[in-house]
Amino acid sequence: MKTSTVIAVVAALLVVGGAYWYWSSGQMALPGTPAADTAGDNGTNDQGVAGQPNTGGTVPAGNTNPTQTNVLAITADATLGQFLTANNGMAVYTYDGDATGVSNCTGSCADTWPPFTVSSSASIKAPDNVSGTVGTIRRADNSLQVTYNGKPLYFYSKDTVAGKASGQGNGGVWFVIKP
């Protein structure tokens, strides 16, 4: 084999390998698919969830509007059955001390039960298999808290594993949401 042929083959392999690396790193999307947003800016994950792991910003399957992101998912547990979680798998809870559209969990309450917040209400939606309405309310600190059927949603600070709901029934006022 001639040296020039070997050089041409090696160059072609390098180009193909580089293109694959570039595409797989989330820098480039295939035609018709959204590129991953892995910025991880301002202490939020790509869905705007403060204090939660950055899980990447790809649009979930089944979402036909690439400007909207599913902020909820359904998880199953042997004891609780199906319940709602944030898109990162962490259980979300409602507080019986809240009124529809109003969060009454602030200060030390919000330290134990961090509000589920997003950076923008315009880009959120519920997945197709969740029948309730997802929205937001403006908290006293001006953050946007996610709501489900008007009830503000929270995480439990002692939940450390996705899919677990150790705050269920806490104090008789904190509950996971059944879809």
Could you report the per-residue pLDDT of 18-39, keeping only the tens digit for each?
333 333 333 333 333 333 333 3
Vertex 121 angle, CA 118 and 122, to 5°: 135
Percent residues over pLDDT 70 in the chain: 62
Confidence grade of residue 89 (pLDDT, cut at 50, 70, 90)? very high
- What pLDDT does residue 18 have? 39
Indicate if the alpha-carbon torsion angle 28, 54, 118, 172 is positive or negative. positive
Pull the structure tokens for residue 117: 């917040």
Rounded to 10 degrees, the C-alpha dihedral 66/68/69/74 comes to -110
Q: Given this model, what pLDDT does residue 57 score? A: 30
The overall average pLDDT reported for the chain is 72
More confident: 156 or 125: 156
Which of 105, 106, 102, 73 has the alpha carbon at shortest distance from 174? 105
Can you tell me the distance from the alpha carbon of 97 to that of 112, in angstroms, rounded to the nearest whole number?
Answer: 15
Band of pLDDT at residue 69, cut at 50, 70 and 90: confident
Longest CA span, the chain: 79
Distance of CA 32 to the CA centre of its chain: 22
